[in-house]
Each structure stands twice: as C-alpha cells, then as structure tokens.
C-alpha cells in the first residue's frame, strides 16, 4: 500500500492561497530591476529632448561664470535650469517607479508578505543554509549568474563590434553625425542588453514558480483532510441526511393517523391518502415500501384507518406521486 504521507499531489487553490499568505509566491528579483531599466532606456531620450536646450545653455554659461565667479550670478543662472530639468525629470522617475511597482505586483500581488521578513531559525541553520547554497536552488542561482554574464557579454561584443565598424566606415561624416550614430547605437546597445537580462529574469520567474509549486506539494492525506474541511466530513454529512430522513419519516407517520384510506398491494407497498370535498384530488400524506409500508399499515390499523387492497393503483401512486 502506498504511503499516504508522501507528497505526490499538486497543490490545491486553497494551499496556493495559504502559501501566498506566507510569502511563498513565484518571484524574480531581477524582473523589477530590468523592467525599470528598460523603461528608462526608452523614456530617457524622450525627456532629454526637452531639457537639452537648458543643458546647452548651462554649459555655454560655465566659461562666463568662471571668469566672473559670483554666488548670486551662479544661482541666477543655475537655479532656473535645474528647476526646469527637475520638472521634466520628476515625471520620469515616477514613471520608472510605477513600472517597477507594477512588475512586482504582477509577480506576487499587492499584499505585503510579512512572513518573508519574520525571523526564522531555519535562516540561521547551517544545514538549511547548506541546502540552499549547494542544493538545486543554489545551483540554479549559479547557473543564472553565469548565463546572465555570458549572454550580456555576447550581446555587448556583437553590438560594440558593429558600432565600431559603422564608425570606421563613416570616416567622411561630420563629428556631430558620428556623435548621433554613437548615441543611437549606444541606446540600442543598452536596450538589447536590458532585453536579454529581462528574458533571463522571466525564465528565472518560471523556475521560481515551479519551485514554489514543488514546495507546496501535498500528500493524499492532506488533500483528503482539506476536502473534509471544505465540504464537511462524509460521515457527518451522512448522519445529517439520515437525521433529516428520520424527521421527515416521523412527520409522515403522524399524518397516517389522519388519512382517510391506505392503499396496499398488500404487503410490499402502502400509500396513505387524505381527501375531502374542498380538495381537487386526493393527497398522498405518506407512502413507503418494505418496513416503512408495514409501519404505515400498523399505524392505520391502530387509528382505524381503512386498508384497501388495490395492487395496480398502490404501485402507480407509489412510483409517480410525492408525499404532500
């Protein structure tokens, strides 16, 4: 017989929800960082276009300030430029913050996982730390870092080599044009590197998801106990059904004493009928087969309710009519 305590079952939605409350959610710390950097790489050139005039004006004023240094003059030139730059950069920073927060929310929801920061003895246990470092999780972290360095290094080498070739092949271009090419290729280089890092982070997230589900695996006994808690103990449900059936049967037996006639077939089925002129048709107040039929006949006899033997009618009423 298989051991019911071995964790072979996939976690139920309830188990996953309980794990999430304890901070056991799939998560990659790199996703938020790489997503923020990717957003920055796209938004920064757009915002720089707005502050370029202020920056150029500030740079042109530096020699003049150096010739006649004055705190008042310096403040009158620098402060407006810094204020203008700040007004533009604050939305940029807020946008980056929003992107990183959304990426974190998508991974683990908006609920703060206090259980992740609570002190635990397992965090200082040499045995547990050894498992984390030299176990599957530690090996994956090592492989992830090697993969990250290799992929990003390869991307850097390819893009930089191509950029250098473009610059050398464009020897007749002006310095401003070469600067634009270098800036464009540099921006693309950053975006490609970030995209590669983000791809690795997404892979890390799915590995984390698989690890969390493995940690939350359940045994057959745990699944059965959870089913009992959510739907109720089967034995208790059966007892409640039996109690309700007994109560209904007792009420039915009370109504037999007030019946006008009991149809029998003669031993297997009994159907008690109630009728008066106000009714459109007779009403079945009790019916039963076997032991219940015998009890209906006994109560009818005790209360002088006539027993009428009509096999076809008794069977038809028993099969097709409900009590009440």
* Per-residue model confidence as pLDDT tens digits over 175-186: 566 666 766 777
Range of 112-116, 126-130, 275-279, 289-293 with top mean pLDDT: 289-293
Query: Is 257 domain-assigned?
Result: yes
Q: Tokens 């992929």 correspond to what residue? A: 151
C-alpha–C-alpha distance, residues 111 and 292, integer Å: 59
* The predicted structure's pLDDT at residue 134: 59
Residue at a domain's end among 55, 79, 107: 107
Domain of residue 175 covers: 124-217
Please choose, from the candidates 35, 147, 152, 55, the residue with its C-alpha nearest in 3D space to the C-alpha of residue 100: 35
Does residue 280 sit in helix, strand or coil? Answer: coil
What end-to-end distance do the CA atoms of the chain give, in Å?
50
Asked whether residue 189 is domain-assigned, the answer is yes
pLDDT tens-digit profile of 225-272?
777 766 666 676 777 777 877 777 778 888 888 888 999 987 789 999
My answer on whether 83 and 151 are in the same domain is no
- Is the same domain home to 206 and 266? no
Residue 177 lies in a domain: yes
Res. 223: pLDDT tops 50: yes
Assigned token pair, 79: 């402060």
Domain's final residue, options 165, 182, 217? 217
Shared domain for 94 and 129, answered yes or no, is no
Under 8 Å between Cβ of 274 and 255: yes
Task: Please indicate whether residue 158 or residue 292 has the higher confidence score (pLDDT).
Answer: 292
Kindly state whether residue 113 falls inside one of the protein's structural domains: no
- Measured between alpha carbons, how far is 89 from 45 in angstroms, rounded to an integer? 12
Single out the residue in 170, 192, 217 at which a domain terminates: 217
Same domain, 74 and 40: yes
Question: What is the rounded CA–CA span in Å between residue 296 and residue 287?
Answer: 8
Residue 42: CB atoms within 10 A of its CB come to 12
What's the CA gap between 275 and 260, in Å, rounded? 7
Phi, psi of 266 (to 5 degrees): -105, -10
Look at 56 and 194; give whichever has higher pLDDT.
Answer: 194
Contact yes or no for 274/229 (Cβ under 8 A)? no
What CATH number is given to the structural domain containing 271?
Answer: 3.40.1690.10
Q: Looking at residues 38-67, what average pLDDT do you find?
A: 71
Same-domain status, 98 and 129: no
The more confident residue out of 138 and 283 is: 283
Same domain, 197 and 277: no
Question: Residue 220 corresponds to which tokens in the numbers above?
Answer: 């057959």
pLDDT band at 220 (very low <50, low <70, confident <90, very high): confident
Average pLDDT over residues 281-290: 87
The reported pLDDT for the residue numbered 1 is 44
Q: Can you list the positions of beta strands (E) in the chain?
A: 7-9, 218-219, 261-264, 269-274, 283-289, 307-309
Whether the bond between 266 and the residue before it is cis, its omega within 30 degrees of 0, is yes
Tokens of 59: 């740079």
Question: Does some domain include residue 1?
Answer: no
- Total count of domains within the chain: 3
Backbone angles phi, psi at 300, to 5 degrees: -65, -40
> What DSSP assignment string belongs to 219-262?
EHHHHHHHHHHHH--HHHHHHHHHHHHHHHHHHHHHHHTT-SEE
Candidates 112, 100, 111, 89; CA nearest to 43 is 89
Please give the Cα distance from 199 to 270 (Å, whole number): 76
134 and 209, same domain (yes or no): yes
């Amino acid at each position: 017989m298989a051991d019911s305590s071995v964790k072979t079952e996939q976690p139920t939605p309830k188990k996953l929800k309980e794990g999430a409350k304890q901070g056991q959610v799939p998560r990659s710390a790199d996703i938020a960082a790489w997503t923020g950097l990717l957003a920055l790489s796209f938004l920064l050139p757009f915002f720089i276009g707005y502050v370029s005039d202020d920056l150029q004006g500030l740079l042109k004023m530096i020699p003049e300030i150096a010739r006649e240094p004055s705190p008042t003059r310096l403040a009158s030139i620098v402060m407006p430029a810094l204020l203008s730059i700040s007004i533009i950069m604050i939305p940029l920073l807020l946008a980056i913050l929003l992107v990183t927060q959304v990426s974190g929310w998508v991974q683990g929801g908006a609920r703060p996982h206090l259980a992740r920061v609570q002190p635990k003895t397992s965090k200082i246990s040499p045995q547990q730390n050894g498992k984390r470092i030299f176990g599957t999780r530690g090996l994956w972290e090592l492989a992830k870092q090697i993969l990250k360095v290799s992929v990003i290094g390869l991307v850097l080498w390819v893009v930089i080599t191509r950029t250098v070739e473009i610059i050398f092949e464009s020897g007749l271009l002006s310095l401003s044009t070469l600067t634009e090419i270098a800036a464009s290729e540099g921006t693309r280089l950053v975006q490609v590197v970030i995209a590669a890092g983000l791809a690795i982070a997404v892979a890390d997230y799915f590995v984390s998801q698989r690890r969390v589900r493995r940690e939350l695996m359940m045994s057959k006994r745990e699944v059965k106990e959870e089913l009992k808690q959510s739907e109720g103990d089967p034995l208790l449900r059966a007892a409640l059904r039996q109690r309700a059936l007994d109560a209904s049967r007792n009420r039915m037996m009370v109504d037999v004493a007030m019946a006008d006639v009991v149809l029998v077939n003669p031993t297997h089925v009994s159907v008690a009928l109630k009728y008066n002129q106000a009714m459109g048709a007779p009403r079945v107040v009790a019916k039963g087969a076997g032991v219940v039929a015998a009890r209906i006949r006994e109560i009818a006899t005790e209360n002088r309710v006539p027993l009428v033997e009509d096999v076809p009618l008794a069977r038809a009423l028993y099969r097709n009519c409900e009590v009440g």
